[in-house]
Amino acid sequence: MFDSTLLEALRNARHLVVFTGAGVSAESGIPTFRDRLTGLWERFDAASLATAEAFRADPALVWGWYQWRRSIVHRAQPNPAHRAIAALANKVPRLTLITQNVDDLHERAGSHDVTHLHGQLERPRCFKCQREPDAPLPVPDESEAGRRVQPPTCLHCGGPLRPGVVWFGESLPVNAISHAFQAAEDCDLLISVGTSGVVYPAAEVPQVAWRAGATILHINPAPGPLHGERDFALASAAGNALPALLNSAFAEH
């Protein structure tokens, strides 16, 4: 079922980078951004929910929307794709996991040292002084999710807490993106899972790996065009493709 060159590339990988987007969590019931009908940015206006200006204008609206997203993630469970990625770490000498996702399903599936390029829902910080609260946020109450909710205030300066995610117009965490580019330069295989690849600079990560000579595998039910013999695609849902790939590459080895 899988191309033998691809299976060899996986078996022989010295450094594997797995680069994930919203599609890896879709089968856990977490909406993606750009899938028609179900994507968040098909249903909600990003400019009034995911920018610093929006938060300044209406903090309760923005906080409530992110509480709704937190409540979905809290109810969700990692799926076979997250688990297969965690299992892959034990099959190759080195695996770097880079995600654009703000959920914690990779961690809950057993992956360690996950690089979150776009921040994390569970890492809010003060909008004014940038400090993170000492205690984790309570799990959102179903009744407050999706309603206007005033954000909690910072115990140090009294400013409002903001979601710990990267909003449009903001820079990515410097350490995270430089770590991602270094790993992409160094890897011999990069598996891109469930991303539309349209948001920069994150979308450059596979491109950097490609230019550095790595083999690339895209796992996406709607893959884009391929660019050469080092470029592979599995047009399938991640929860099917990744466990099957892991099995084929390593079952008898």
Q: Which residues of the shown chain bind ligand OAD in the complex (CB under 6 A)?
A: 21-23, 26-27, 32-35, 39, 100, 118, 165-166, 194-196, 199, 219-222, 237-238
The token pair at 81 is: 């794709």
Closest CB to ligand OAD belongs to which residue?
23
Which token pair is 135?
Answer: 């205690």
Q: How far is the CB of 203 from ligand OAD (least distance, A)?
A: 8
Q: What are phi and psi of 246, to 5 degrees?
A: -60, -45
C-beta of 126 vs 233, nearer to ligand OAD: 233
Angle of helix 238-250 versus helix 80-88 axis, rounded to 10: 30
Residue 23 or 78 having the CB closest to ligand OAD:
23
Nearer to ligand OAD, 111 or 220 (CB): 220
| Alpha-carbon gap, residue 111 to 158, rounded angstroms | 35
Q: Which is nearer to ligand OAD, 32 or 71 (CB)?
A: 32
Reply yes or no on whether 74 is catalytic.
no
**Cα gap 251→247, rounded to integer Å:** 5
CB of 236 to ligand OAD, least distance (A): 7
Q: What is the residue-wise DSSP string for 144-179?
A: TTTS--PPPBPTTT-PBEE-SBPPTTPPPPHHHHHH
Least gap, CB of 215 to ligand OAD (angstroms): 19
Residue found under tokens 């750009």: 34
Residues 6+ apart with CB under 8 A from 137: 70, 122, 124, 152, 161
- Measured between alpha carbons, how far is 112 from 82 in angstroms, rounded to an integer? 12
Least CB distance from residue 243 to ligand OAD, whole Å?
A: 12
Tokens of 194: 């469930």
Show the tokens assigned to 141: 């109450």
Quote the least distance from Cβ 197 to ligand OAD, whole Å.
6
Closer by beta carbon to ligand OAD, 12 or else 130: 130
CA torsion through residues 234, 239, 205, 54, sign: positive
Of the residues 118, 179, 218, 253, which is catalytic?
118
Q: Give me the active site residues, please.
A: 118
